[in-house]
């Protein structure tokens, strides 16, 4: 049913959930016991240089990857040839790798926001828990569109995905974050 590289799009059923409200998640690991992923559309107000002193490029964005291990930085990228110890999870997408190499590549302008994404924390479920949430209507599973992962404008990503869906999802595409303030 689900596999690494798939995209989860939260439905309006999770509007009250702080982390998953209007979330789009890329799954990086799926096995019989657990599922791991990162929220790709919730940009934080600070950059990588705010978190890591050695980063010279002040424009590298950081996203809230999820509620688990928020004290750690994680990254997804398209550069296994440049970043050693990367783990392939889907086509030309990799997560993790040698962090020092990564910082050096950023400082030398060899990689940027168009091919790398940093996260504080990650999302995680047991496999059965996530399947239950999908079956109950909290998530829609979508096939990966790598271009969305590194999109410049992520704030409207959830609404744009709602517009593409069938039925009553379209009405949610322009709804405010808090429908009670409508």
Strands (E), 40-157: 43-47, 61-64, 68-77, 87-90, 93-95, 116-126, 139-142
| pLDDT higher at 162 or 49 | 49
* pTM reported for the whole predicted model: 0.88
- Counting residues of the chain whose pLDDT is more than 70, the rounded percentage is 86
* Residue pair 24/7 in contact by the 8 Å Cβ criterion: yes
Report DSSP state, residue 136.
T
- Please give the Cα distance from 14 to 140 (Å, whole number): 12
Report DSSP state, residue 41.
S
Report DSSP state, residue 44.
E
| pLDDT higher at 171 or 111 | 111
Q: Please state the φ and ψ torsions of residue 32, each to the nearest 5 degrees.
A: -60, -25
- Please give the Cα distance from 28 to 38 (Å, whole number): 8
pLDDT digits (tens, 9 = 90+) for 77-98: 999 999 999 999 998 899 999 9
Report DSSP state, residue 83.
S
Give me the half-sphere count of Cα atoms (radius 13 Å) on the Cβ side of residue 30: 17
Query: Strand 7-10 relative to strand 24-30: parallel, antiparallel, unpaired?
Result: antiparallel
pLDDT at 30 over 90: yes
Domains by residue range for the chain, with CATH:
7-175 (3.40.1740.10)
């Amino acid at each position: 049913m689900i596999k690494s590289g798939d995209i989860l799009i939260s439905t309006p059923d999770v509007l009250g959930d702080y982390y998953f409200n209007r979330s789009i998640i890329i799954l990086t690991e799926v096995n019989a016991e657990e599922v791991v992923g990162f929220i790709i559309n919730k940009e934080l107000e600070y950059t990588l240089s705010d978190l890591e002193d050695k980063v010279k490029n002040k424009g590298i964005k950081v996203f809230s990857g999820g509620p688990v291990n928020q004290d750690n930085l994680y990254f997804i990228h398209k550069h296994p040839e440049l970043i050693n110890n990367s783990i392939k999870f889907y086509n030309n997408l990799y997560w993790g790798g040698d962090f020092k190499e990564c910082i050096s590549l950023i400082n030398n302008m060899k990689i940027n926001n168009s091919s790398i994404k940093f996260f504080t924390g990650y999302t995680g479920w047991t496999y059965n828990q996530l399947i239950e949430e999908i079956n109950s209507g909290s998530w829609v599973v979508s096939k990966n569109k790598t271009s969305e992962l590194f999109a410049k404008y992520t704030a409207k990503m959830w609404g744009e995905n709602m517009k593409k869906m069938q039925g009553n999802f379209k009405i949610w595409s322009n709804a405010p974050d808090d429908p009670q303030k409508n």
